[in-house]
Amino acid sequence: MTPSALAGLGLQPLSMRSVLLSTLLGSNPPRLRAAQLIAMASVFGFSAAQAESSLAVLAATGDVTIENHRYRLGPRLARRQRRQDQTRTDPRLPWGGRWAMVVLDRGSEDLENADELRRELLGLQFALWREGVWLRPDNLGLRHVPMLQQHATTWVTDAPNNLDGRSLVARLWDLNAWAGRAELLLEALPQALDLIDGLPVAIATIGHLTRDPLLPDGLSPKGWPSQTLRKEFARCATEIETELALFLRR
């Protein structure tokens, strides 16, 4: 990879936990023997003892479960894997100019699951408009979500304060920052040709695509790189997963 792409991305070395979980997240089905996970950890310079210790912690916290002597993703990470898979396709629906608004119930932000509720809203590509009020263009069909039904009221409305759609989008998301990092990832992806380079870049790309506001075409800035990045990642991810599968069969 070119130094400029790496420097701009600011990628840090993968932790033991990231290597193990990313290996499971990138496997289909996500069920692997300890020996396979230890072998993958060794590629990134971790010892068998370090990998075994980390697997014990992951099992204790419920991030992984053990079934028939194989490690598999726990429920939370299984949901994350499904979301990761969705980053390769365009989930947008035709937009009729309306906005989906979520108003949290009083006291919901003080609940024990407040962080989970916030993560759920961010994962659904909502942006915080003001305290307790989340907003996005109504082009994803996201109004019927169990957690939101329990702790919030959701409806479809016109843009608040009669704001222009593009002006509202600019207030909700830092579009320049998102597009700038997307361009760096587009430069890095084709150059990440092996597991050591490919896995960190793939992880960074997945994280970035999960923060894509998924704007309707009518609200996207000119040259918006969302779909280009999505297609390039789908192509590169297939290659990385193929290489990972071949490695794990050794």
Give mean pLDDT, residues 192-207: 90
Residue 127 has pLDDT above 60, yes or no: yes
Task: Give the model's pLDDT for residue 2.
Answer: 54
Predicted TM-score of the model (pTM):
0.88
Peptide bond into 29 cis (omega under 30): yes
Residue 144 has pLDDT above 90, yes or no: no
Overall CATH class of domain 11-82: mainly alpha
The reply to whether 11-82 and 174-248 are identical in fold is no
Task: Give the model's pLDDT for residue 119.
Answer: 84
Residue 81: pLDDT band (50, 70, 90) is confident
Indicate the domain borders of the chain: 11-82, 99-172, 174-248
Task: Give the model's pLDDT for residue 211.
Answer: 94
% of the chain exceeding 90 in pLDDT? 60
Residue 108 has pLDDT above 80, yes or no: no
Tell me whether strands 127-130 and 70-73 are parallel, antiparallel or unpaired. Answer: unpaired
% of the chain exceeding 70 in pLDDT? 94
Q: Which residues pair with 104 in a beta bridge?
A: 152
**Rounded distance between C-alpha atoms, residue 80 and residue 198, angstroms:** 20
CATH number, domain 174-248: 1.20.58
The phi and psi torsions of 243 (rounded to 5 degrees) equal -65, -40
